[in-house]
Amino acid sequence: MTESAGNTSAFYFNAHSTLSNIVKWNTDTEATSHMTPHQHWIRNYTPYRVPIHLADNRVIYSEGVGTIVFCLLVNKKDSRDVELTRILHVPALQNNLLAVLYLTRQKQFDIHISFDTMSFSRSGSVLFTATIDDNNVGYLNGTTLSSSEQVYMSSTLPLNLSLWHKRLCHHNYGDIKMLIKNNLVEGLVIDSAAKPDPVCEPCLARKMHANPFLSSDTRATELLGLVHSDLHSVGIPSNGGFMYWITFIDDLSCFKVVLPLKKKSDSFSAFKTFKAYAENVTGMTLKSFRCDKGGEYMFKEFIDYLDEHGITKQYTT
């Protein structure tokens, strides 16, 4: 099975890139299914991969399918919410496409187009409309609710400052008040004057500092008797495309080796390179290896290699 994304998705976004293309739904008469790049809108999400042909002969793929809830706007007034089914999640797509012919053929909708308005009717009642802009593109009137908004709508908790502080990942109260005062976020409403608790345990825990680790009184008694390793993120890729660097430090001599990595999975190859180099330089055999149980050290191939070479594993806590 294949799908078609119609003409507009292939070239319209690049020529007329605006916020409307990203947020609103483009009424497309050639798309065979509704499609969106926004996974956070989709409810009842199920993985689903199918090829989608664009007008410029490129092929992209869907990653999932589900439903969305759309808050309708009819005659510039809020109407009831409607659930649209079989929405394909297509990450590579740059528009939200409403498949007009799918609605007429599969859902028995009637479409009426006037000067600047498209009306979508079923059983004689207009359920939603789209406004046609100066570029002859129709955008569905209304807004899409994210999959998380359904939970918020059914909440019985008072909408006070403390609740929004928690919902916004414990953002500071001053900024939340500024968002409300300047009306910068839709739906950010306060209906309770209750003052927030001055003690927020998650905020306090986040700001706590760990006590220094006690210095160890023991040291390895020979070179390569114990080697410590850790992986560090660069943050910004280097000119060579390296994103990480990994360290290997001998416990007895503090002999250090640092190797750049392009991805975390390169840590195994880096370890083998270090082992060969260190054993060749020192004439000793690596006997014990200590790390923090990061995923880059814990995959089966790495662990099996240590076991095969008789290298004892130690983990920091």
- pLDDT of res. 302: 93
pLDDT band at 18 (very low <50, low <70, confident <90, very high): very low
More reliable by pLDDT, 316 or 18: 316
Alpha carbon distance, N-terminus to C-terminus of the chain: 51
17-26, 137-146, 225-234: which range is least confident on average? 17-26
Task: Kindly give the pairing relationship between strand 3-4 and strand 64-74.
Answer: unpaired
Is residue 20 within 8 Å of residue 50, measured between CB atoms?
Answer: no
Q: Would you say residue 27 has pLDDT above 50?
A: yes
**Would you list the domain boundaries of the chain?**
3-148, 155-200, 227-315
- pLDDT of res. 312: 94
**Bridge partner list, 315:** 291
pLDDT band at 11 (very low <50, low <70, confident <90, very high): very low
- pLDDT of res. 17: 41
User: E-strand spans in the chain?
Assistant: 3-4, 25-28, 34-36, 43-47, 51-53, 59-61, 64-74, 77-89, 96-99, 110-113, 117-122, 125-132, 138-140, 142-145, 227-233, 244-250, 256-261, 288-291, 312-315
pLDDT, averaged across the chain:
83
- pLDDT of res. 208: 72
% of residues, the chain, pLDDT over 90: 37
- Which tens digit of pLDDT belongs to each residue from 164-222? 888 888 888 889 999 888 888 877 888 888 888 777 878 877 777 766 666 667 789 99
Coil, helix or strand at residue 266: helix
pLDDT band at 295 (very low <50, low <70, confident <90, very high): confident
- pLDDT of res. 9: 40
Q: Would you say residue 64 has pLDDT above 90?
A: yes
- pLDDT of res. 98: 93
pLDDT band at 258 (very low <50, low <70, confident <90, very high): very high
Q: Would you say residue 154 has pLDDT above 70?
A: no
Sign of the CA dihedral running 133, 135, 136, 140: negative
Q: How far apart are CA 104 and CA 56, in angstroms?
A: 26
Find the mean pLDDT for residues 278-296. Answer: 92
Beta-carbon contacts of 66 under 8 Å, excluding residues fewer than 6 positions away, are 42, 43, 44, 45, 46, 87, 89
pLDDT band at 284 (very low <50, low <70, confident <90, very high): very high
**Architecture of the domain spanning 227-315:** 2-Layer Sandwich (3.30)
Rounded to two decimals, the pTM is 0.45
Q: Would you say residue 7 has pLDDT above 80?
A: no
- Which tens digit of pLDDT belongs to each residue from 81-139? 788 889 999 998 888 999 999 899 988 999 999 889 999 888 888 888 899 988 888 99
Q: Would you say residue 70 has pLDDT above 90?
A: no
pLDDT band at 21 (very low <50, low <70, confident <90, very high): low
- pLDDT of res. 75: 63
% of residues, the chain, pLDDT over 70: 86
Q: Would you say residue 38 has pLDDT above 70?
A: yes
